[in-house]
Amino acid sequence: MSMVAIEVIMEMTGLDRNSVRRVGRNIGARQYKDAKIELYDTDDWDSFGKPLKKKKMSKEHKARLQGGAADWREEEKKKRALKAQKKNK
Domain borders along the chain are: 3-45, 53-89
Strand 3-5 with 31-33, pairing: unpaired
Angle between helices 6-13 and 17-27 (to 10 degrees): 90
Predicted pLDDT of residue 71: 87
Under the banding of pLDDT at 50, 70 and 90, the label for residue 1 is low
- Beta sheet of 38-41, edge-to-edge order: 3-5, 38-41, 31-33
> What three-state secondary structure class fits 37?
coil
pTM over 0.85: no
pLDDT digits (tens, 9 = 90+) for 9-46: 888 888 899 998 998 888 888 889 888 889 988 887 77
Predicted pLDDT of residue 83: 87
Distances (CA, A) of 24 to 1, 28, 37: 16, 6, 16
pLDDT digits (tens, 9 = 90+) for 62-74: 888 888 888 888 9
Distance from C-alpha of 61 to C-alpha of 32, rounded to nearest angstrom: 42
